[in-house]
Structure formats: C-alpha cells, structure tokens
Structure 1
Amino acid sequence: MLKTRHLIKLSLSLSLLAAPALAQAQDIQNLRIMAPASPGGGWDQTSRSIQTVLQDAGIVKPVQVYNVPGAGGTIGLAQLYNAKGDGSLMMTMGLVMIGAIQTNSSKVDLAGVTPLARLTGEYEVVVVPASSPYKNMADLVAAWKADPGKVAFAGGSAGGTDHMLVGLMAKAVGIDPKKMNYVPFSGGGETLAAVLGNQVAAAVAGYGEFEAQIKAGKLRAVGISAPEAQPGIDAPTLISQKVNVDLANWRGIVAPPGISAEQKSAMIAALDKMHASKAWKDTLATRNWTDLYLSGSKFDAYLKTEETRTTGILKDIGLVK
C-alpha cells in the first residue's frame, strides 16, 4: 500500500513538471500573423501555411493571417513596433526585409523585435543558356574577371537576394562589386526571358524559378549557393568550385518588442511543436521548401550575423553608405 502511494505521488509530481511545457503552446489566445507583403507571395504563403498547421494540429486556435504590403516589409515592421508588448502577434519576415531596411532607409530596424525562429529557405542557382560557352563556374569567373562590366547577370530587384549573391560572388573571386554588371528585373519571368534570349551572360534566382527550363535542357545550372549538394538538384555548390559563398533566401518569424519572457517562450514552444509535426513536414515537401529551422537564442545570434553580412555587401555594391 505504501509503495502504491509513493508511485501515485511520483506520477503526480511528474505530471505537474510536464504540465507547464505542455501548456505553453496553448497559452497564446487569438494569435494573429502579419504577412508584411501582398497576398500570394512567399511571406503570405509561409504565414498561411503556419496558420493551417497550428490550427489543424491543435497547437494554437484560432489563428488569423492579415497582409500589410509595402516597401519590402518595412511598413509592416513599423506596425509591429507599434504593437509593443502584444504576445498574440507574430510577423513573417526574412533576408529580403534585412536588405529593404537598408535600401529604404527605414526608420525602424530589427534591433528591437523579438526573434522567434528561422523557418524555411531556398538556395539560389546561377544559370547560363544551354548554348553558353561557360560550362561551369570556372569558365564564367574567368570571363568575369577579365572584363567585369561585359559579363552581365540578371536577377530580381536591386538590393534583393539575387543582387546580394552576385555581389558576394564578385567579392569572393576578387572583383570589385561596384564594377559588376547586374541587371535587375521586377519579376522572375523577365529574368528568365533575359537569360533565355542571351541578353545576359547568366542569371540568378531561387532554383524553383528555373527548374522547368533546367530539366528541359534550355538552361545549365553552373552553381548553387548551398553549403553542400542538394538532393534532387543537379548543380555543384559554389563553394566546391572555389567561390566561397553560401546564401539562402530564408524566411523567419518575429514578435513585437517588449513581450514578456513567458510570452516569448509560449510562442517558441508553439513553433517548435509545429516544426516537429507531420503536417509541417508534409507542407515543406509539397511546397519544395528547404527546412532551415532554428529557434530561440540560436535564431537571435543568426539574425545579428545576417544583418552584419547584409549591411556589408550592400555597402560593397554601393547601394547604401
């Protein structure tokens, strides 16, 4: 009988210890997720995927997503600052926002927000037309170093991830980034048309933008900005070709400034649970997103490193002082 009582007490003690961890993800009431961009884009898709998984897996209910477009996410960022202390609000963001803060001379930056987690990412590929004389990065770099202004690269908007990658590559191979010939386009379709039409020597974008043309044999992927070879992508890394650069167009999530330690822990617990769920793994596979999950203090440190690196390359390119 005495032994049974001890077992009951031990069981109750363990239950009480486990209860706070279990309750953390349930403490968030009426969660709202801001997508600081128009509906349909990457941040919007990420926000709505988080919403679906959190709700369907019973981690947090209800969850609302709303859009605040404009200025590379910095309009939404300003609104996040105005929601100081709100423990039921998250905002999706990423590398693009770090660049936009610099190039738009935003009055608010990421110094005051509460970092929660890095979620997903997409590595960039460098492509050339199938008929190009450049068979690999060594060929492309040799021509580029011989005449930096003559070898044009197409990509997305000035200061964006594509532009940053070309700047990092230039610096890595000893070319002054200010002398590189980067041709920005507002959409992936225009970039694709430029490289297929031989208007530029090469183009840079996320692998998904070029996948169909690479598989059809119309484009050749000469490099990918991943730290190691990626399954299902037939492209050698830049690093393996002596261009010591890796870069992911990552997406993450942050909370307003001034939330309590308990509120931050509850949000991170919810995201950790989401990341571990089968529903999230299925979402990553369906959308072909690379899992780059990093939460809590690790994401805090990563964010600071990315801000420093982004500021440096945008200065090298000449887009910020």
Structure 2
Amino acid sequence: MRRNLHRLAYAVLASATLTIAAAPAHAVDSVKFMIGANPGGGFDQTGRSLGAAMVAAGVAKSASYDNKGGAGGTIGLTQFVNTDKGNPNALVVTGAVMVGAIETNKPPVTLKNATPIARLFADTMVITVPASSPIKSMKDLVAQLKANPGSVSWGGGSKGSIDHILAGLIAKEGGVDPKKINYVPFQGGGEASASILGGHVTAGIAGVSEFLPFIKSGKMRALAVTSKDRTADIPTLKEQGINVEIYNWRGVYGAPGISDAQRKALIDAVVKATESPVWKETLAKNDWTPFLLTGDEFARFVDSESARLGSTLRELGVAK
C-alpha cells in the first residue's frame, strides 16, 4: 500500500513538472523601450506599437517607454547605451532619421555601440501645408521656392534627418541650391504638427502615418507623397514632375553586451510580434509597408544606409 502511494505521488509530481515545463514562457519579462523623440512622432508610434504587439503576442509580460528627444534620437541612444548595457529586455527605436543624424552630428555613441535586432517597416513620407495656406500644389510650392528659397520654411525632424534630406532633394530638383533651404527642425512629430497647424512654417514633412489624422480632418492639405505609387490617394512627387522617390524606415536595436542567446531571444520575440494580428492591424492603419530584416543582415543594411545618406547629406552641405 505504501509502495503504491509512493508511486502515485511520484506520478503526480512528474505530471506537475511536465505541466510546468510545457507552460508558455515569455521571451522577455517587461520589455523596456527607449524612444529618442518626444511623444507624438514616428519613433514614438513605432515603439509603443511594437510594445503592444509583443504583449499581445505573448512574448512579453508588459512594456514600458522612455521618451528622450533631441539630436535625431542620438541623445536617447547615448542614454540607452550607457544605462542599459547587458540588459536583455531593452530596445531602442531607430530608423533613417537617426542614421542621418549620426552622419550629420558625428556623436561619440552610434548604432555600432548597440546590438542590431530588426528592421520593421518602411514609411512613405508626405509634404503638407496648413489648410489655410494659399499653396495648393507642389507646383505652387516649388514656384515660391524658386522665387525666394528663404521664404519657404520646411518643418520636419532633426537636422540631417530624412525629412531634411527630402527638402534638399526637392530644392535640387527645382534648380535651387539645397544649401539655401530654410529648414526648421523639431524634436518630435507633435511639435512639428503644432507648428504646421499654427502656420509657423510654410510646409511640413513627416511619415504619412504622423500627418494622416490631420489630413483626413481637413486641418492639413497634403501636396504629395514620396512613394512610387499613391498612398491614401495622395499624388506622388513623380506624377507632379519632381523626380524624387524616398522612404523612411524604422527598426529596433538591443543593448550592448547581451549574449548571442539573449540576442536571438529578442529577435525571435520581435519577429513573433510582427506576425500578430495587432501588428498587422497597426501596419494597415498607418499605411506602413512590412520591411522585416533581422540580425546581421539588418546591421549590413544600416551600414549601407549610413554611406548612402551620408553622401547625400554632404552633397546638401549638411554633413562634412
């Protein structure tokens, strides 16, 4: 009888052990996002959307966010690298804006100091004006730019950002010296939107997702998108005779000093999140195009982007 009880107890213990082992484990406990921009912009949207998708996909228990705007995200990047070394649950949002800012400002801390995890999506850019603006089309905007380059103020992301590059390329296409453009940088999409809506700048540049609510409400007039085809039925630059096609992209890096196994766990968690219905709904809502690339391949892409954007910025007289 005692032997049977021992056998039963062992069987129950073994069954419980198997049940515990089979229980789903979170890849990370509480994922911590560093967002190198003030609330309301593309970096902010990216970090919070990915965090929500990771929680919804069951790869993270919870997500927290720290906004630290300035210098195209490099201030936040520096804090991230210095304070989260070895933290396997930390991510920093990056993108073409940060790559351009690094090429422009040459900060001591760059993406080389962090761990590449994943490129997430591409974002079409849009040029807008306040609804009350007398400028009705890109033709009107370029005409004013040619007549007096300084009279057209462009509101967008930080100096050297993809927004800044776009303004320079439009000027160049219009036969205007890009070095003469009047570019007004902002630390976040919320500040840029407020400046455009208030009529403090002539035109605004951002990802479509950032300005789309204002376009749909009639507070902003969309002049053009930078994609090959129309987005949200907004005419492209090319169909208006301006031979410019350019995209923003965003992704995430992990902290320095994490192990290969921790890096793989983060990559797997992010990929799993991008497969979730929550993430797919976010892409559709914001007109974001899936652009997934992970690990070392992502690192090589960033290296090529640094060279490409750096060359353009030097041509525009923004970077040395």
Give the shorter-chain TM-score range. Answer: 0.7 to 0.9
User: Residues 40 and 264 of structure 1: is their aligned pair in 2 closer, same or farther, counting only changes over 3 Å?
Assistant: same
Match of 2:290 among 281, 285, 292: 292
How far off is 1:177 after superposition? 0.9
Aligned mate of 1:190, from 185, 189, 195: 195
Question: Residue in 1 aligned with 2:255?
Answer: 256
The aligned amino acid for 2:275 is A
* Kept after mapping to 1: 8 A contact 2:152/2:182: yes
CA contact (8 A) 1:178 1:316 kept: no
1:111-130 alignment, distance < 5 Å: 111-128=112-129
Aligned ranges for residues 214-293 of structure 1 at < 5 Å?
214-215=215-216, 220-230=221-231, 233-286=232-285, 288=286, 290-293=288-291
Is 2:49 the counterpart of 1:52?
no
CA distance in structure 1 between the partners assigned to 2:257 and 2:217 by the alignment:
51
| Aligned partner letter, 2:277 | K
1:114–1:255: 8 Å Cα contact kept in structure 2? yes
How much has 1:26 moved relative to structure 2? 5.3
CA apart distance, 1:295: 1.9
Q: Within 5 A, what are the aligned runs for 1:1-321?
A: 28-37=27-36, 40-42=39-41, 43-58=43-58, 60-67=59-66, 69-72=68-71, 73-82=73-82, 83-128=84-129, 136-184=137-185, 186-194=191-199, 200=202, 202-208=203-209, 210-211=211-212, 214-215=215-216, 220-230=221-231, 233-286=232-285, 288=286, 290-296=288-294, 297-321=296-320
The 1:129–1:306 alpha-carbon spacing in structure 2 relative to 1, beyond 3 Å, is: same
1:17 maps to what in 2?
Answer: none
Q: Distance in 2 between matches of 1:214 and 1:38?
A: 22
Q: For structure 1, which runs of at least 5 residues remain unmatched after alignment?
A: 1-22
Following superposition, the deviation at residue 125 of structure 1 comes to: 1.7
CA pair 151-46 structure 1, distance change in 2 beyond 3 A: closer
Contact 1:80 1:255 in 2 (8 A): no
| Greater shift in the superposed pair: 175-184 or 202-211 | 202-211
TM-score normalised over the length of structure 1: 0.73
Provide the aligned length of Structure 1 versus Structure 2: 290
Following the alignment from structure 1 to structure 2, what is the Cα–Cα distance between the partners of residues 258 and 227? 40
Q: 3-state DSSP class of the match of 1:111?
A: helix
Q: Secondary structure at the match of 1:187?
A: helix
For the 8 Å contact 1:53–1:280, the answer to whether it is kept is yes
The one-letter code matched in structure 2 to 1:273 is K
Contact 2:122 2:288 in 1 (8 A): yes
Question: Structure 1 residues 246, 262: CA separation in 2 closer, same or farther (over 3 Å shift)?
Answer: farther
Aligned residue type for 1:284: L
The alpha-carbon deviation at position 38 of structure 1 amounts to: 6.6
Offset of residue 62 of structure 1: 2.8
Q: Classify the secondary structure of the residue corresponding to 2:170.
A: helix
- Are the structure 2 counterparts of residues 138 and 274 from structure 1 closer, same or farther at C-alpha, using a change threshold of 3 Å? same
TM-score, normalised to structure 2, is 0.73
2:141 and 2:46 mapped to 1: Cα distance?
35
Q: Name the counterpart of 1:10.
A: none
1:106 is paired with a residue whose SS is coil
Aligned in 2, Cα 1:30/1:133: closer, same or farther, shift over 3 Å? Answer: closer
- Cα deviation per residue 1:93-146 (whole Å; 9 max; x = unaligned)? 223322333455421111232222222454322234668776543454355345
Give unpaired runs (5+ residues) of structure 2.
Answer: 1-21
Change in 2 beyond 3 A, CA 1:194/1:111: same
More off after superposition, 145-154 vs 169-178: 145-154
1:47 match: secondary structure = helix
User: Within 2, Cα distance between the matches of 1:158 and 1:310?
Assistant: 13
Larger CA deviation: 67-76 vs 205-214: 205-214
Question: How big is the shift at 1:176?
Answer: 2.0
**Which deviates more from structure 2 when the two are superposed, residues 184-193 or residues 31-40?**
31-40
Find the aligned partners of 2:157 and 2:90 in 1 and give their Cα distance: 30
**Inter-CA distance 34–131: structure 2 relative to 1 (3 Å threshold):** closer
